[in-house]
Structure 1
Amino acid sequence: MNQKKEMLGLIEQLVNIDSGSYYKKGVDKVAEILINQFREMGFQITIKKNKLYGNNVVIQYDENKKTDILIVAHMDTVFPEGTVRERPFTIKGSRAYGPGVIDMKSSLVTLLYAIKALYQQPNNAYKNITIILNSDEEIGSPTSKKLIEKISRTKKYALIMEPARQDGSIVSARRGGGKYILSVKGKAAHSGVSPEDGKSAIEELAHKIIKLQQLNNAQKGISINVGMIEGGEAVNVVPSEAKGMIDVRITSREQARYVRKQIEKICATPDIKGTNITLKGGINRLPLELNQANKKLLLVVQDVADSIGIELKAVHTGGGSDASFPANLGVATIDGLGPIGGGLHNEDEYLEIHSLTERCFLLAETISRLS
């Protein structure tokens, strides 16, 4: 009971710090609190500094010693500065609420206390891990991707601390994805006086949107969504500029290659003569697929769960995460090892408080078993 109270106290402290991906000051404050906790147990800290985003943090008991297990957890949230002032951490009944409470402030605390449990036993398994606390997962891990991949290359296992699903399931497979920005330049003209002199960037973008949407295949798990568009200066002016933001989701490496090729092909040639097209971005996360290595790791985690009285299911989810980086380097990877909750990225985001100690124990025992 005291441990749960301590954990909730630290979760409250972290949730009440705005740490949106673009708010460096807040992300670094979260890092500082966690770094101090790990230092008390003798861990060595390496800070990978960033100018624009929060710093990434690597935590290891002995940086010169090889470890088998990589654990990844992110400190950023999707919520902008000022959100905490509007709706700070609260507890209602059996649930805790607040911005980032389940994605993933509670996972950060679960991870810390799992390591504390091993440290206090003492169980030397805590010396067999390397932890990455990254600052930019919610925006595609632009600064932390290479760091995760570099450290993954020497690991046997990767445990990703995204939250468990609402029914308690962990995540054994995820879709991959990426984002593109399609920019079109045309030629402005007055729509009443000389429309024939103009080249509509919006019209060109419309042609491309229709072709891109035709790439969708729900049965195969391919999703292309032009989710935002902008363009034009005035209603009586043929628009000289337009832009579309494209979200891509795929379920296999083969689909990644196919979709990339098709998008580039569609955007290579304008439909409206005299317009110019620029395509930026790409697929930055390949899928987490349930291959043989991941199946073996999943069975280990489920066996540990069974030994402590938890019935643990595994699911496939459409969202992406840092799990794709180690998994696609051949590292056995499992995701969703944080506590149980729901409402991710929404005002009603919540943590199931009862799951804190349960998932903390599950993580600690999994680390011990893998060591």
Structure 2
Amino acid sequence: MPFKFIAFAGAAALFAIPALSASAAPAQAVPKDAPKDAKVWAAAQAAKPDQLKLLQQVVDIDSGTGDVDGGRKIAAFLSARLKALGFSVQSVKAEAPSLPDNTVATLNGTGKGRILMIGHIDTVFGPGTVAKRPFRMDAEKAYGPGVSDEKGGVIEGVYALQILHDLGFKDFKQIVFLIETSEERGSPGTQGLIKKLVADADVELNLEPGDLPDALTVWRKGSTTFHIEVKGRAAHAGIAPQDGRNAAEELIHQIKADEVFPKSGDGLTANLTVMSAGTRANIIPENAEAQINVRVRDQADFAKVQAVLEKNAKTTLIPDTKVTIGREAQNYPPLPNNPGTDALAARAEAIYGGLGMRIARAGNGGASESAMAVAGGIPALDGLGPAAGGFHAETEFLMLRSVTPRLYLLTKLIQELGHQPPPHLK
């Protein structure tokens, strides 16, 4: 499905993020190590074989973003599991064309906390990938398309809910599990739904994979993609090339002019990801386009990039070519460091400490729905899936040693937050 983007009419931000200073939420003491819950730990250990079996079944279904059939198959598979746990399961039509429906599973309890869990089943891999490299394991890792980004986290979510069901846990007001289908493209089919669910929640737990060696995600960059479109003039490349205006050459000029932004690092980055130009070898290209993926820690940096791209577009190397700058309509804001997330991370550290283990805090350039939760005013904790690496590549893997501790962590967090939800952000 082609990306939708908006031409610039100004520098308005798509999301307003509340100021998150140290006073944004009431100060909370760092929890001491939580005593190990023997019942939950035993249940998490016992679940591992079936958890990995279900993960294999889901990984071995191609579900790249826009694969409607694959998304439907996985949704049907998981919906049946959630219904068996007493959840009311609803298929919600995607907000953009050519995408599978999203799945919203809801369970009401008798306590206080309204917990929103979010995971996605779409991957960056196209049809036929599973046939080439299906799910497999060695002594340390599991492999396969989407094994960690993010099917491992989604299956972890299902099994945390299974454990809570088996223990008869009802000390929460509501648990909502959103399984979405377009995260890898910035959630164009889900953003309105996410905002609606956030408005009816006290906390968001995100099932993206944890960073290595074993870390939670407490900050993320915001993400969007800019488009550079060049209009030239076609001509016969052999008989009258001088009559043409080469859009591809002008695109190259624009890309070189834009190489003022860092390509890597913890701050703003801008990277060329897609290029296209021309139709035949004997025609001077009339059209050319490039996509620049931009990641930022500060929302204002999107406007800075826009300004540079638009300024460069006014100066062309190839005469009579026209350069237009656009930006995709959907993107994620940054997830900033904030006291609400820090307080949740402290709870997670205490739970891990009860196992005699340590979990770190980290951040990265991968965007996620947690940024929308914080923008909506509720605390969020990200990177709760199994620790993993090699994302968006054939090397993608999930660390098997992290499966049981992460399942235990998620289950205990749900119990604690159901009993005592955190304060909203101010």
Structure 2 length-normalised TM: 0.80
Distance 1:262 1:331, change over 3 A: farther
**Cα distance in 2 for residues equivalent to 1:206 and 1:99:** 33
Is residue 305 of structure 1 aligned with residue 352 of structure 2?
yes
Residue matched to 1:287: 334
Aligned positions of 1:32-47 closer than 5 A: 32-47=76-91
1:343 equivalenced with 2:400 (yes/no): no
CA distance in 1, matches of 2:278, 2:67: 31
CA distance in 1, matches of 2:268, 2:410: 33
SS, match of residue 355 in structure 1: helix
Q: How many residue pairs end up in the alignment? A: 370
Q: CA deviation at 1:220?
A: 7.0
Change (3 A) 1:191 1:113: closer
Q: 1:218 Cα shift?
A: 5.8
SS in 2 for 1:339: strand
| Map of 2:364 onto structure 1 | 317
C-alpha separation in 2, matches of 1:127 and 1:23: 35
Within 2, Cα distance between the matches of 1:256 and 1:16? 37
RMSD, matched Cα: 2.4
Worse-matched range after superposition: 151-160 or 360-369: 151-160
- Counterparts of 1:179-194 in structure 2 under 5 Å? 179-190=225-236, 194=240
Q: Does 1:296 align with 2:339?
A: no
Match of 2:167 among 121, 130, 145: 121
Q: Structure 1 residue aligned with 2:93, among 46, 49, 53?
A: 49
Match of 1:61 among 87, 91, 107: 107
CA–CA distance in structure 2, aligned partners of residues 75 and 232 of structure 1:
35
Deviations 1:251-291 (A, max 9, x none): 11222232233333433565544222233324711111112
* Higher RCO (CA 8 Å, separation ≥ 6 residues): 2
Measure, in 1, the Cα distance between the counterparts of 2:187 and 2:51.
27
- Find the partner of 2:201 among 155, 158, 164: 155
2:114–2:200 contact (8 Å) kept in structure 1: yes
For 2:303 and 2:121, the matched residues in 1 are separated by 31
Assess if the C-alpha contact under 8 Å between 1:204 and 1:272 holds in 2: yes
Q: Note closer, same or farther for the CA distance 1:195–1:18 as it changes in structure 2 (3 Å cut).
A: closer
Other-structure match for 1:75: 121
Q: Which of 244, 251, 258 lines up with 1:198 in the alignment? A: 244
2:229 and 2:348 mapped to 1: Cα distance? 46
Cα deviation digits, residues 44-100 of structure 1 (max 9, x gap): 11211245111101111149x996221110011122222222222222223222221
**Separation in 2, partners of 1:135, 1:280:** 25
Q: Using the TM superposition, name which of 147-156 and 198-207 deviates more.
A: 198-207
The normalised TM-score by structure 1 is 0.91
Q: Is residue 2:320 matched to residue 1:274? A: yes
Paired amino acid for 1:249: R
Query: Does the 8 Å contact 2:223/2:334 carry over to 1?
Result: yes
In the alignment, is the contact (CA less than 8 A) between 1:60 and 1:127 conserved in 2?
A: no
Unaligned 5+ segments in structure 1 are none
CA distance in 2, matches of 1:221, 1:37: 41
For each residue in 1:300-357, what CA deviation from the matched residue of structure 2 results, as whole angstroms up to 9, or x when unmatched? Answer: 2222222333311011112222222212222211111001222222223222223222
Which residue number in structure 1 is paired with residue 144 of structure 2? 98
- Tell whether the 8 Å contact from 2:115 to 2:201 is kept in structure 1 after alignment: yes
CA distance in 2, matches of 1:202, 1:125: 61
5+ residue gaps in structure 2? 1-44, 419-426
Residue 126 of structure 1 and its aligned partner are, at CA, apart by 5.6
SS in 1 for 2:195: helix
Which of 11, 18, 24 in structure 1 is aligned with 2:62?
Answer: 18
For 2:20, the equivalent position in structure 1 comes to none
Does the 8 Å CA contact 2:266/2:365 hold for their aligned counterparts? no
Q: Is the 8 A contact 1:253 1:286 kept in 2?
A: yes
Between the aligned partners of 1:28 and 1:80, the Cα distance in structure 2 is 16
Q: Distance in 2 between matches of 1:271 and 1:330?
A: 47
